[in-house]
Structure 1
Amino acid sequence: MKYAFVDYRISRQEKHSLETLGCTVIICPPSALLYPAICGHPDILIHLLNDNKILVHKDIDESFIQLLKKINLDIEYTVNSLGKSYPYDICLNAVSLKDYFIHNLNFTDKTLLANFSSKKLITVKQGYTKCSTAIINDNAIITSDLSIAKALEKEPIDVLLLPPGDILLPGLNYGFIGGTCGKLKDTIVFYGTLEKYKYGSLVLDFLHKHKVKPFYLSDSPLVDRGSIFFL
């Protein structure tokens, strides 16, 4: 059984499209501790530690915890609560690759950091690190954040740096590429279509280079609903 962790504002069409991929959709409950635009984003609320262990913010709904237990996940909790203002909302919003852990390490939750201390730790200015990063594989990412791209210049990671903008995020001026998608085996699943994204051809070329296929949950412009986490 495959699980897809998504924002509670996922559309009916997007949910149905995920189910056609054989996924059971798990809705992340919104947190009143956060501002509305990101209050249900999975990459703000949780972090998948491995195939059977998940880290959640310490104040998450008990009903969600019971759901996680039903699918036999081990659960860990953040040290601190989330907060409405930056940087108190970014403690889980890190990028974890096979050999690298990338975040603004000044604000990473201690429980999260402890789980990945054996990896090479790379600190960046961008606290919304996962929001800003689409993981293509363990050696390739897409981002519109210059600090992330520069931090990885000396590492064997292929980086596609895109201009910001042209991604919907209701309540804010624009969203980020990492929040529009998630990796499922050899497929990148998008909220919306690259055909309606200003830099879609660049993304498609990069995906082709790394032998990854796009899958579109709808034919809308790209929408940042927080990363889709697949388990």
Structure 2
Amino acid sequence: MDLFLPHPRLPDSPVTTALVSGEYPFLPHALNAIGIKTILTNRESRLPVPVSWHPDMQVCMVAPDLLFTLSGSTLGKSIQKETGLRTKETEKTPFVSYPQDVLCNALILGNCLIANPNTVDPRILTWAKKQEISIIPVRQGYTACAVCIVNKNAVITADRGISIVLEKLGVDVLCIRSGFIRLPGYDTGLLGGCCGHLSRDCIAFTGQLSSHPDCESIRGFLRNYSISILELFPGELMDVGGILPLLQME
């Protein structure tokens, strides 16, 4: 029997189902080959083309059994049918330019919602307030894209603003150099869009960490938290909108 995760994006047993971009067939193929079922996004025409398939632009996971999807999207119904997760739609509808493209781009970390409150959807903020979840404001509108969550108390990011805010909360942050991540159509992608947990102690990356100049720092930081690394395919790191675990083994 599959179970909901105990915390958004952070399983404590092997992941059985994950949400990934439907743009790159090699991504679900790589995960299916190791026994992980994949739910694929479709292209969302209301988002900018380079990120129109990205899960972290289409979905905001806020609780073990609840996520938000973009208003008018059919993705929520697919996720509900496949996983039993509850879904809610955003209040606003997305648009192809910033900041209307980042309505779902927020991150739950412990009992905090990390987000730019001026760009994330009001319905997500309202939900967080009702749940007595602290809203931690940052300038970065692409918060979920920008952060690799290691655990509730440790993250990796190239965003100095997010780093400063989280360090003040007592989170252990490895701040890496910006760039060196492929995202066709943009100058660079972001680290959170290159990875996702496959179990409590394994993070998968879409590409090889050796393509990043801070590779050894990243490896060392993950090693300090007993996290192993799985590189899903060769070549440079590619921002695919992240790997979003949805269900785990009992």
Distance 1:152 1:67 in 2: 34
Distance 1:190 1:115 in 2: 31
Corresponding residue for 2:61? 48
Does residue 104 of the first structure (1) align with residue 116 of the second (2)? Answer: yes
Q: 1:6 aligns with which of 14, 20, 27?
A: 20
Corresponding residue for 1:23? 36
Structure 1 residue 28: Cα displacement: 1.0
Structure 1 residue 146: Cα displacement: 1.0
Say which SS state the counterpart of residue 144 (structure 2) adopts: coil
Contact 2:195-2:203 at 8 Å conserved across structures: yes
Moved more, 71-80 or 37-46: 71-80
Distance 1:91 1:65 in 2: 15
Does residue 179 of the first structure (1) align with residue 193 of the second (2)? Answer: yes
When normalised by structure 1's length, the TM-score is 0.93
Structure 1 residue 114: Cα displacement: 2.6
Matches within 5 A, 1:1-231: 1=2, 2-12=16-26, 14-61=27-74, 64-71=75-82, 72-117=84-129, 118-184=132-198, 185-231=200-246
Say which SS state the counterpart of residue 25 (structure 1) adopts: strand
Distance 2:29 2:97 in 1: 34
When normalised by structure 2's length, the TM-score is 0.87
Say which SS state the counterpart of residue 131 (structure 1) adopts: helix
Moved more, 110-119 or 171-180: 110-119
Distance 1:102 1:220 in 2: 31
Structure 1 residue 99: Cα displacement: 1.9
Provide the identity percentage.
31
Gapped regions of structure 1 (runs ≥ 5): none
- After superposition, what is the alpha-carbon deviation per residue over 1:128-182, rounded to whole angstroms, capped at 9, x for unaligned? 1111111111000111011101112311100010110110001111111111011
Distance 1:150 1:51 in 2: 27
- After superposition, what is the alpha-carbon deviation per residue over 1:176-206, rounded to whole angstroms, capped at 9, x for unaligned? 1111011232211111111222211111001
How many residues align? The count is 228
Distance 2:120 2:159 in 1: 18
Contact 2:180-2:211 at 8 Å conserved across structures: no
Distance 2:134 2:102 in 1: 20
Moved more, 45-54 or 28-37: 45-54
Distance 2:150 2:112 in 1: 14
Moved more, 110-119 or 100-109: 110-119
Kindly tell me: are residues 54 and 153 of structure 1, through their superposed partners in 2, closer, same or farther at Cα, counting changes over 3 Å?
A: closer
